[in-house]
């Protein structure tokens, strides 16, 4: 349960705990956290995608396990899921192709507990904004650099979902207007500039993962150097654009590509010193995400806790 | 004074009126509006930039004139100005090059009335969001297409200023990462793609204004056609990026370039049908701004009225 | 038989005639021409690609038919074929994928007549340079704008084949170094910029042929206008590059896309006035090809006639 | 005097020697060479540009000195100069801005010796093709990578000058059609991609010479690495384009930037393995120029020697 929201309910033990469930394509992760973000229990299990009853029951089992272990039956529940939630964040309204049966499924009825559903990228950002790399910040942008590039925005202290709860798809902003269109139709998107999904295209098939590319780069391969540094440069241009549009205090970078460490963050800072508009000498902080694969579950718990107070 | 804020003060005549002053480089415009956005009085005068006491006294004169004409001495005041406001919106904190003396000037003390100061692009957006093309919308993006390209964001019903009150500089988002850097250091920015400032560059010096370019385009000039349509395509790619990042209900386009009318809006809609990600069939509305040169003053009055209630 | 070469053999009736055979993937065209380029006989028949003996015998049949009809058994023979000829132009040395059995096939032995083999794009250029749009010119570039973009160069009056007889593949010059690589590995090639092969890519699948694109363009479709004019602009940039590299007196454009007529040639001239470096006021002439589908056969006859004299 | 041409004149001592004069903006270099390319004498002196009689007399003095030292009054003379020669290579026909009085100056009359005038880039290529890095080659492209990027073409064994003697301006071929136009009007030219003239633009003013850029690159600077490798990649794309257009046996690279050594040639080879179309396994050789600052004078002598035989 998240600090800010809990100021008013200190006397009640009941709702001092929130449960977050991350519904991924292969695994379900569930956590219970307290008001300080302490992890009270963690639960992992396979998703069984492909069998509608299978994965729904898996969510229910994860939920019950966490409920049992914490002995708390009043905790609000947040579910982090792929797709776009509906207006009230009670269900995922749009998620084609995977997890058949997810669209418009009534989780509150199914789990018999007030449940909030939110996009997984926004969940991860919530974890970082409340208890992680951007703790205490009011305006935050988070990017998850993995197969694709996910994103989320915190505006004036609150997760920003926008119309159709579609906001935050920052991976699908333009970087090169003459580039190929990505899966959303965006030409030369940030996702195509640095996501693993485009590694074959960026390297003419020479490498099949960012990790492979980085290994060659570290060995002094010229081609790998230019491909990687160009990708980082484009990321910097995207981040600099976001500082002009949203002016966050902090931009958090998460996802597997951040394992590149200084090979990512050092050139990134150098490029940002060229591209970021630092009016009045102010600059946006770039931080690596603190949470790993529990970010979605933790952030969903934060969201539920706060949403339940409004 | 803006609808939403006035719900609680219907019985009080005192604050039913707000005053907005638009401090432009050449002219000062001042208005008083009531809670429904009705214009009670308008005042225009030259700015006298270059003489610090001159333009400050001009603002004071404009303020007093509006105060006198409306007979209201309790109205809150909003000032729309170039530059970046400070954290409390009591002054402009950063504005190099023009209006010497503006930075950190204490308007509340000078005018002896509680005064809020905000960026002029955000002012214009506020006018449209409260009483104009996006009336009643909660999530809005506005772009002003003129010499440069200004921008502003309404998030969850509130003007979004971000850290350092710098948010909304959408003209300085990237469109082409290999393009020349604009005044903020951004390569191939939206401003350079469609703002009047780059017309010479885009046309190899053949045209000196968007209006000239459009005249040639309408006469069937091939070169003008490609330059103009490419500019509109890039605008569409920028707008589609914004729908992915911010998912506003409405994007408002203002500024002199919107005088192009259907030559702008028709190809823009066609391009958006290619580039906008319309998950679930949802699309962002594109609207032309309602307000003309009084947008800044009206929006500043809206801002002051709402800020005074918080 | 080609003018220049014939100066020395005016008294000989024997070799006043040359035979050209165009070996295409679907049709074989054969002609006999006299020293002035007059067409003495034409022969068309299917190629029967897929059956090695089939298409070889078809060539032989075409050859014998032309020989019979002209009653001339001394005429030299030129064969226009896809692929790269060997150093002596006695066979095609490299042609993967089609016409199995073509590589290194000994035509002189098979036809029992001295036979020269040359690339089909160079054949077409020879026809134009000797009897067509560039008659009398010494330095010529020809581009064939069709499914792909073929090319050929006449340098100092002679067809220029370069090392490995590979010269003239002008369709595979760069236009956009960040574009996708074409079938030869070239990023953003001229072929991809205007060849029919890329029409789907250039139009996001909206059109499947240049003809369809042009129909929409003529009806005022904005998207079609920008795609088409951008393609023509890129062609102009490619042609201007060629004028800087090769400075031909004439550039000949042939192929189906030239059926666009003034919709191609008018904007092309306008763009060339921007991009061509006209030092000393000199400009390269742009001409539409005169020959249609007999260019290859006619040019092969020219080549054989001249090669036989050397 | 150049090998090939000398076959027929072995018995004559008179014309066994040719004189070449390189008329540069700051220095005049003159040489006499024999039929094997042996340097018999060298002469250097300042040009005195700005004073028409001054630099003309300087050329005459250089000529007389070489004539005197070799005791040969029959040697043909070649002059390597900036600008475009006239059709008969007896004078420079077009050279704005520098060396006032050069245009259409009658050198044969002035020096009282048959004199040929040719473009300096073609001169340098002639030296390499006859006695240097491409000795014995028939089809050669040379690029000089310095402040600008000069170029020259040898086609079928002869220097190729094209219409208006303008051919070979390879630095002004396109690499990026959306780039800024260079001094000839070409967008995103090869010269702008790698010539010293664009170093400030490519590095946002951080470096003022390729040498500085390379020093930072060698120290591991990320920004310098990407700028340099991108420049080399673009050079590779340009060279690969030239192999498709002209299919030379050898491409020679000269000029100050080739001092980069393996930092240039190693990544260049790696990029060429991606971009060069090696049909049938054939590849174009990339060679560093052998001649330094005497290339122009030596090549001019070669040209004169050969031209005098035709």
Q: Assess contact for A193 and A231: CB atoms under 8 A.
A: yes
In chain B, what residues touch D176 (CB-CB under 8 Å)? 178
Chains A, C: CB contacts within 8 A come to 8
CA A148, distance to chain mean position in Å, is 11
In this prediction, residue D81 has a pLDDT band, given cuts at 50, 70 and 90, of very high
CB A156 within 8 A of CB A177: no
What pLDDT shows up at residue A74?
87
Cβ proximity of D66 and D78 under 8 Å: no
What does the alpha-carbon distance between residue D161 and residue A78 come to, in Å, rounded to a whole number? 75
Compare all CA atoms of chain D with the CA of C280 and give the residue at the minimum distance. D94
pLDDT tens-place string over residues D147-172 = 999 999 999 999 999 999 999 999 99
The separation between the first and the last C-alpha atoms of chain D, rounded to the nearest angstrom, is 14
Cβ atoms B184, A268 nearer than 8 A: no
Question: Per the structure block, which two tokens stand in for A183?
Answer: 């899966």
Q: What is the pLDDT of residues C10-57, one digit of tens each?
A: 334 445 899 999 999 899 999 999 999 999 999 999 998 888 899 999
Q: Do D280 and C178 touch (CB under 8 A)?
A: no
Do B247 and A93 count as a contact with CB atoms less than 8 A apart?
A: no
Average pLDDT over residues D287-298: 96
Our CA-based measurement puts residue A286 at a distance from the nearest CA of chain B, in whole angstroms, of: 14
Closest CA to A21 of A123, A158, A92, A98: A123
Q: What's the mean per-residue pLDDT of chain C?
A: 93
Residue with tokens 């920004």: D223
- Give the model's pLDDT for residue D29: 97
CA D173 to chain centroid: 16
Note whether A174 contacts B274, CB cutoff 8 Å: no
Whole-number Å distance between alpha carbons of B226 and C163: 39
Q: How many CB pairs under 8 A join C and D?
A: 176
User: Which chain A residues are Cβ-neighbours of D222 within 8 angstroms?
Assistant: 229, 232, 266-267, 270-271
Chains that touch C (3 or more CB pairs under 8 A): A, B, D
Mean per-residue pLDDT over chain A, rounded: 93
CA of A177 vs chain C CAs: smallest distance (Å): 11
How many C-beta atoms lie closer than 10 Å to residue A101's C-beta?
12
Note down pLDDT in tens along chain B; length 310 residues: 333 333 333 334 445 899 999 999 899 999 999 999 999 999 999 998 888 899 999 999 999 999 999 988 889 999 999 999 999 999 999 998 889 999 999 999 999 999 999 999 999 999 999 999 999 999 999 999 999 999 999 999 999 999 999 999 999 999 999 999 999 999 999 999 999 999 999 999 999 999 999 999 999 999 999 999 999 999 999 999 999 999 999 999 999 999 999 999 999 999 999 999 999 999 999 999 999 999 999 999 999 999 887 5
Phi/psi for B122 (5° steps) reads -70, -35
User: What pLDDT, in 10s, does the model give residues C146-175?
Assistant: 999 999 999 999 999 999 999 999 999 999
Question: Is A186 within 8 Å of B241 when comparing Cβ atoms?
Answer: yes
Does residue B267 belong to the interface with chain C, where contact is any CB pair within 8 Å? yes
Contact B178 D181 (CB under 8 A): no
Contact D178 B176 (CB under 8 A): yes
pLDDT at D71: 87
Percentage of the residues of chain D whose pLDDT score is greater than 70: 95
Burial of C280 (0-12, 13-18, 19+ CB in 10 A): middle
Q: Is the pLDDT of residue A3 over 80?
A: no
Residue found by looking up tokens 């340099």 in the block = D228
DSSP state of A180: P
- Interface probe with B: pick from C229, C235, C261, most Cβ of B within 10 Å: C229
- Could you tell me which residues come within 8 angstroms of residue A173 by beta carbon, excluding any fewer than 6 positions away? A186, A189, A190, A238, A241, A242, B173, B241, B244, B245
Distance CA A16, CA D87 (A): 92
* D window 207-266, beta carbon within 8 A of A: 221-223, 225-226, 229-230, 232-233, 266
Chain A neighbours among B 91-130 (CB < 8 Å)? Answer: 93-94
Q: State the pLDDT at residue C262.
A: 97
Q: Which residue has the tokens 């069709």?
A: C146
| Residues 126-165 (A) with a CB less than 8 A from some CB of D | none
- pLDDT-derived band of residue A226, with 50, 70 and 90 as boundaries? very high
Instruction: Write the pLDDT tens digit of every residue in A64-74.
Output: 999 999 988 88
pLDDT class for D310, splitting at 50, 70, 90? low
Query: Does C176 contact A at CB distance below 8 Å?
Result: yes
Query: Per mean pLDDT, which range of A86-90, A94-98, A177-181, C112-116 is the poorest?
Result: A94-98
A186 interface with B at CB cutoff 8 Å: yes
For residue B27 the two structure tokens come to 């002219």
Q: Which chains touch B (3+ CB pairs under 8 A)?
A: A, C, D
The pLDDT, as a whole number, for residue D112 is: 95
Work out the pLDDT band at A310, boundaries 50, 70, 90: low
C128 and C90 in contact (C-beta within 8 Å)? no
Residues of B in contact with A249 (CB under 8 A): 163
The pLDDT, as a whole number, for residue D8 is 35
Contact: C226, B225; criterion CB under 8 Å: yes
Q: Are A22 and A300 in contact (CB under 8 A)?
A: yes
B259 vs B292: CA distance, rounded Å = 11
Q: CA D40, CA D66: separation in Å to the nearest integer?
A: 9
Best of D175, D178, D193 to disrupt the B interface by mutation (most B CBs within 10 Å)?
D178
Distance from CA of B119 to the nearest CA of D (A): 30
Chain centroid to Cα C98, Å, comes to 18
What are the DSSP calls for A160-176, one per residue? E--GGG-TT-GGGSBSB
Q: Does B200 touch chain D (CB under 8 A)?
A: no
8-state DSSP, B188? T
For residue range D22-51, what is the model confidence (pLDDT) as tens digits?
999 899 999 999 999 999 999 999 998 888
Which residues of chain C are within 8 Å of residue D160 when distances are taken between CB atoms?
155-156, 246
Contact indicator for C180, A180 with CB cutoff of 8 Å: yes
How many other C-beta atoms can be found within 10 angstroms of the C-beta atom of residue B101? 12
D179 touches B: beta carbon within 8 Å: yes
CA dihedral over A32, A38, A43, A47, signed as positive or negative: positive
Minimal CA separation from B226 to chain C, in Å: 5
Contact (CB, 8 A) for C271 and C232? yes
Give the residue on A whose Cα is nearest the Cα of D206. A274
d(CA A94, CA A100): 11
Chain centre to alpha carbon of residue B130: 13
Question: In terms of DSSP H, where are the helices of chain B?
Answer: 3-6, 52-70, 107-111, 120-131, 190-194, 199-202, 210-218, 222-246, 262-275, 295-307
To the nearest whole angstrom, how far is the Cα of C137 from the nearest Cα of chain D?
Answer: 10
Task: Give the mutation candidate from A82, A177, A190 for the B interface (greatest B CB count, under 10 A).
Answer: A177
| pLDDT at residue number B263 | 98
For residue A296, give the nearest of A23, A67, A93, A5 by alpha carbon.
A23
Q: What CA–CA distances, in Å, run from C148 to B199, C119, C151, C166, D7?
A: 35, 15, 10, 16, 45
Q: Which residues are CB-contacts of D14 (< 8 A; sequence separation ≥ 6)?
A: D72, D74
Residue D159 — φ and ψ, nearest 5°? Answer: -60, 135
Burial of residue A96 (CB within 10 Å: 0-12, 13-18, 19+) is: exposed
């Amino acid at each position: 349960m998240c600090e800010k929201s809990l100021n008013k309910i200190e006397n009640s033990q009941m709702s001092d705990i929130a449960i977050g469930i991350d519904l991924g394509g292969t695994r379900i992760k569930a956590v219970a956290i307290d008001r300080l973000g302490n992890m009270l229990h963690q639960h992992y299990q396979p998703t069984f995608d492909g069998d509608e009853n299978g994965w729904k029951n898996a969510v229910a089992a994860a939920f019950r396990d966490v409920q049992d272990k914490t002995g708390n039956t009043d905790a609000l529940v947040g579910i982090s899921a792929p797709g776009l939630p509906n207006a009230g964040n009670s269900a995922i309204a749009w998620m084609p192709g995977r997890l058949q049966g997810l669209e418009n499924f009534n989780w509150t009825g199914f789990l018999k507990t007030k449940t909030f559903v939110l996009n997984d990228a926004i969940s991860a950002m919530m974890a970082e904004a409340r208890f992680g790399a951007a703790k205490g910040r009011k305006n935050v942008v988070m990017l998850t650099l993995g197969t694709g590039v996910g994103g989320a925005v915190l505006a004036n202290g609150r997760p920003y979902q926008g119309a159709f709860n579609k906001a935050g798809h920052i991976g699908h902003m333009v970087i090169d207007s003459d580039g190929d269109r990505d899966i959303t139709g965006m030409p030369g998107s940030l996702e195509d500039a640095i996501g693993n999904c485009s590694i074959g295209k960026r390297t003419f098939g020479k490498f099949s993962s960012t990790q492979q590319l980085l290994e060659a780069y570290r060995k002094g391969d010229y081609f790998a150097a230019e491909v990687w540094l160009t990708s980082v440069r484009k990321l910097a241009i995207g981040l600099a654009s976001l500082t002009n549009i949203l002016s966050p205090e902090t931009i958090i970078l998460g996802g597997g590509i951040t394992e590149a460490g200084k090979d990512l963050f050092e050139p990134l800072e150098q490029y940002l010193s060229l591209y970021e508009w630092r009016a009045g000498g102010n600059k946006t902080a770039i931080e690596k995400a603190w949470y790993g694969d529990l970010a979605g579950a933790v952030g969903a718990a934060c969201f539920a806790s706060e949403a339940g107070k409004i």
